[in-house]
Amino acid sequence: MTILKDIKILAIESSCDETAAAVVVNGREALSNVISSQIDLHTLYGGVVPEIASRKHIENINYVIEKALRDSKCTLDDIDAIGVTYGPGLVGALLVGVAEAKAIAFAKNIPLVGVHHIEGHICANYVDNKDLKPPFVCLVVSGGHTHLVVVEDYGKYRILGKTRDDAAGEAFDKVARAIGLGYPGGPKIDKVSQNGNPHAYEFPRAKITGSEYDFSFSGLKSAVLNQINLATMKKETINQADIAASFFQKSVVDTLVSRAMIALEKTGMKKFAIAGGVASNTAVRKAFQEECSKRNIDFYRPSPVLCTDNAVMIGSAAYYEYINGTRHGWDLNAIPNLKLGER
């Protein structure tokens, strides 16, 4: 399809505990980026409570959309299509965004484009890295997903490996809670681990027989919990910083980097990107930068604000779906377990 004018997408994201809206031009330029976070609310419960998340989305959705339009100096008459996350995620949370997107698209008679949340994370790289084009290898690491993917073209993905159990971000949250850091675990482990000794404890790194690209973090998480329980029974003091550094800076980062480097070697590709909430972590970014530099691999990563859930990434993904002809009808529904690459 030949595009003769700029395409402006109004994007909506509500898959978990952030209500977000943005206006994105041609998949590469964000005119606005509005995020209403619920972290402070869910911290009281030690994690995201789905029913509360859904109710807060209902309260916030109109506000974030109106602000995204104001910040971009656009009105709905300037918008060419509505992009919205329809999976994966919390079903109640997803439904709020999908219903809102359908209502706007119907009222203004403009196309509706459903977007896969993980594809959105990958596409965040296009906004901050204008020169990045497929093909490339991407590692998506978040609270719910750990995927190693070949991006063959815009909207076309081949999964090399994924976690067999816990996602990396999920393991962070559980370990952070166990050592008394609370929720959300990722940022808190990142901060504390910088003052710890990564060699204080030796935790395992799981390898999946016959699947060199797959991940497993449940055994690592259990090993950390066992170490904490052992120290508690012996009435020994637990050093939060040392456990966080040994768990995260060594075991988790080493696992992520090793799988990604194998993928780059086997595919022969010279471009590598990271995406997802865990991609905002300083130790992850530093480790991949160092390893990619050693191998003359071009390394791409979004700015930290585009690593966590946001609507800019959804607007970027929606643009490439839009120019490829994707249009959804009024029967678009939330699909909480939507697989990467499914349409």
pLDDT of residue 147: 94
Residue-number span of the structural domain to which 257 is assigned: 133-301
Q: Mean of the per-residue pLDDT values for the chain?
A: 93
* pLDDT value at 4 more than 70: no
* pLDDT value at 237 more than 90: no
Q: Is residue 75 classed exposed, middle or buried when 0-12, 13-18 and 19+ CB atoms within 10 A define those classes? A: exposed
72/109 same-domain check: yes
CA distance linking residue 121 with residue 315, whole number of Å: 11
CA distance linking residue 334 with residue 86, whole number of Å: 5
- Is 340 part of any domain? no
16/55 same-domain check: yes
* pLDDT value at 308 more than 60: yes
120/235 same-domain check: no
Q: Which of 99, 62, 12, 94 is nearest to 330 (CA)?
A: 99
* pLDDT value at 11 more than 90: yes
State pTM to two decimals.
0.93
Please state the rounded mean pLDDT for residues 177-197.
86
Q: Does the N-terminal peptide bond of residue 88 adopt cis geometry, omega within 30 degrees of 0?
A: yes
210/265 same-domain check: yes
61/193 same-domain check: no
Please state the rounded mean pLDDT for residues 22-41.
96
Residue 288 belongs to domain with CATH number: 3.30.420.40
Q: What backbone torsions phi and psi does residue 129 show, to the nearest 5 degrees?
A: -130, 85
pLDDT of residue 17: 94
Taking residue 107's Cβ as centre, other Cβ atoms within 10 Å add up to 9
Confidence of residue 251 (pLDDT cuts 50, 70, 90): confident
Please state the rounded mean pLDDT for residues 259-284.
95
Using an 8 Å Cβ cutoff, are 33 and 303 in contact?
A: no
